[in-house]
Amino acid sequence: GVYMKFAEPAASKNGAYLFCYFLGNRPNEERICFAVSKDGYNFTPLNDNRPVIEQKLGTRCCRDPFILRGNDCFYIVATDMKSDDGWESNHGIVTFKSDDLIHWYDECAVDFHSFDSTADADKIWAPQAMYDEKAKKYMVYFSCHNKNSEKPLAIWYTYTADFKTFSKPSELFSSTSGLDIIDADIVKKDGKYHMYYKDECVKTIAHSISDSLCGEYREYENNVVSCTERHVEGNCMYNITGTDTYVMIMDLYVDGGYYMQQTEDMMNFLPVDKKDFSLDFHPRHGSMLHITDDEYYILIKNFSK
């Protein structure tokens, strides 16, 4: 490959980072786990890398957990899926709520077969959410495919106020290539919405951009942003607090482990050297939440032996 220089890790100014992930394709690995970091590069699993939530509804297995800070609480949304049942078996998501990051309640399994537009869905994958200031609701977006549909896997969306009831889903973005895309992650910066997603054909991460959260998202030429030829998915982008640096982590789902790269302009990335980051606990597709020092210490205290 092309020789590429490595990025210099940025110095995080305050607070900490909570990484929310799952572990693998066996049912007992399709569980929500947490890890924390003070610098945004080196992560330590909590609870000995064991699950922090017991799922009781839906398939009782979940993948691709996304954690967000709500107006006065926290939410997790995840793919309600047991991969043992097959890659075309799922048609829903599962949601949880918490006041303190420790105790999770209000579990809700949402079956998208209850909506006309997704009555045939055989894939509802990797939900994420962002608060929409205009709508005063959360936009939940996810990868969707309907059985018997000519349309490829694309990014769809729905609105919710409480992560229990949802509006009728519709398409948000599909690639002009007409090919499958999954794992969208939207980041807002300077009034623009950057959507990073996996191109399922090339197994790489690409980028589109919009002036508003619910679209329209525009692709441009040469919009691949991964710095590696290796197969990656489950891209997750987050800011290093108090800096202009954004880090993207990706699941090396074929080779195992994680790949990290970073940017300041949201388009041009450099890889982070393996020696400069650690995610050595077999995480799969997850998400990142900025937390306060207090929240960090409460998590550490609660999940230590």
**Averaged pLDDT for residues 259-269:** 97
- Ordered by start, the domain boundaries in the chain are 16-303
User: In this model, does residue 1 exceed pLDDT 80?
Assistant: no
pLDDT digits (tens, 9 = 90+) for 181-220: 999 999 999 999 999 999 999 999 999 999 999 999 999 8
User: In this model, does residue 2 exceed pLDDT 90?
Assistant: no
User: In this model, does residue 3 exceed pLDDT 70?
Assistant: no
The whole-model pTM stands at: 0.97
What's the per-residue H, E or C state across the chain? CCCCCCCCCCCCCCCEEEEEEECCCCHHHCCCEEEEECCCCECEECHHHCCCCCCCCCCCCEEEEEEEECCCCEEEEEEECCHHHCCCCCCEEEEEEECCCCCEEEEEEEEHHHCHHHCCEEEEEEEEEEEECCCCEEEEEEEEEECCCCCCCEEEEEEECCCCCCCCCEEEECCCCCCCEEEEEEEEECCEEEEEEEECCCCEEEEEEECCCCCCCEEEEEEECCCCCCCCEEEEEEECCCCCCEEEEEECCCCCCEEEEEECCCCCEEECCHHHCECCCCCEEEEEEEECHHHHHHHHHHHCC
pLDDT digits (tens, 9 = 90+) for 150-163: 999 999 999 999 99
pLDDT digits (tens, 9 = 90+) for 13-68: 999 999 999 999 999 999 999 999 999 999 999 999 999 999 999 999 999 999 99
Q: Which CATH class is domain 16-303?
A: mainly beta
